Amino acid sequence: MREKVVLAYSGGLDTSFCAKYLSVEKGLEVYTAIANTGGFSKEELEVIESKAYELGSSKHVTLDVTDTYYDKCIRYMVYGNVLRNNTYPISVSSERVFQAIAIIEYAKKVGAKYVAHGSTGAGNDQVRFDLTFDVLASEIEILTPTRDLQLTREYEINYLKEHGVEADWSKMEYSINKGLWGTSVGGKETLTSNQTLPEDAYPSQLVEENERDIVLDFVKGELKGVDGKKYYNTIDAIQALEDLASPYAIGRDMHIGDTIIGIKGRVGFEAAAPLIIIKAHQMLEKHTLTKWQNYWKEQLSNWYGMFLHEALYLDPVMRDIEKFLENTQETVTGQVIVTLKPYQFFLVGIESEYDLMKSDFGEYGEMNKAWTSEDVKGFTKILGTSLKIYNSVNKKF
């Protein structure tokens, strides 16, 4: 009997190479498993399964972790308005740990001696998979052919051709990772600092040019309605918004950041629904939360996003931050009006019973109702006391 290896399989070039290599060169019984985080349709998953068996997989499974991914990660990223470097909604970065958890649990279930992934040696995913596998099952050895052999995409394609694997290799020119919270796109342009991805590299194309207003309903920070339709399951609401916004080619950008291993990295992405949700949610919070709630949310949310990106999701401090973020959402309920246009969106405004602008104390720039002019004069004099002391002593100005 051959030893079992569970391969984290996506159907892409790297994992296709690994499936064939581990069987042919290492003599292992390959079990392929794809952990779906909401980026694949039923038809796409069937094609991936068929490819896995064509590559020699002894058994293939689909592990659906979409609900877990939303409940334990995405909703906290929304609560925190998390954008890596103020740009990237941490799409692929955030889903990797949940894929890794599902893969390693499956490996333990089938009694595999090895677990494998197709990450290269120059990116973040290798650390995310390795760390999660090692923390949760250090007794299972990790195999990484693509990384260990330092292979190019050209080499992998030629290897598969030599072993009789037929595919449309032109479609593998770009590395595309799709999930519920966005799609990353990597290719030759992202390896440079002065080029951008061509239009046809993005999975979603511009097909809608008529401007449109939509309304998003939030209940305690979670999206529960899109354009008049209510959703019990927020995942369905996210997918409905994506269906409305992606035809406008909204949410495209290039993320430039520091990798876990210390080098600079660059990747394209499209995330229509995530970017709209985060910005709409943030606007609603500006109306419904206090000054200091918003301030401390921003501080902790930045750390949450960084730890998530840096593969530290399993650290207990993440649970502590999540409790804080969830507690801030008690009054984040209301509607946000959004205008969709080709390649862009605009936030129009909000309606909420918790809107703090609707108070009897005053109207900004217009009328004060809860204090007199003499109150403000006295307040200003006291506020400036420490400044007067400093400047009278140091005479800086």
The two three-digit tokens of residue 176, written as one number: 């595309």
Residues of the chain with pLDDT under 50: none
Closest CA to 62 of 82, 91, 42: 42
Parts of the chain belonging to CATH 3.40.50.620: 4-175
Q: Are 300 and 324 in contact (CB under 8 A)?
A: yes
What does the alpha-carbon distance between residue 63 and residue 106 come to, in Å, rounded to a whole number?
A: 9
Q: Which residue matches tokens 């004099």? A: 381
- Supply the DSSP symbol for 80: T
- What per-residue confidence (pLDDT) applies to 153? 82
| SS3 category, 14 | helix
Distance of CA 278 to the CA centre of its chain: 11
- Supply the DSSP symbol for 174: S
- What per-residue confidence (pLDDT) applies to 88? 95
**Strand residue runs (E) in 38-174:** 59-64, 114-116, 141-143
Does 179-351 carry CATH code 3.90.1260.10? yes
4-175, CATH topology level: Rossmann fold (3.40.50)
- What per-residue confidence (pLDDT) applies to 250? 97
Q: Are 208 and 249 in contact (CB under 8 A)?
A: no
219-228 contacts at long range (C-beta below 8 A, 24 or more positions apart):
219/333, 220/329, 220/330, 220/332, 220/333, 221/75, 221/78, 221/79, 221/281, 221/326, 221/328, 221/329, 221/332, 222/75, 222/78, 222/329, 223/78, 223/277, 223/281, 225/335
Distances (CA, A) of 87 to 30, 81, 188, 269: 38, 11, 21, 10
Q: Give the angle subtended at the CA of 122 by the CAs of 252 and 124, to the nearest 5°.
A: 60
Parts of the chain belonging to CATH 3.90.1260.10: 179-351
- What per-residue confidence (pLDDT) applies to 349? 97
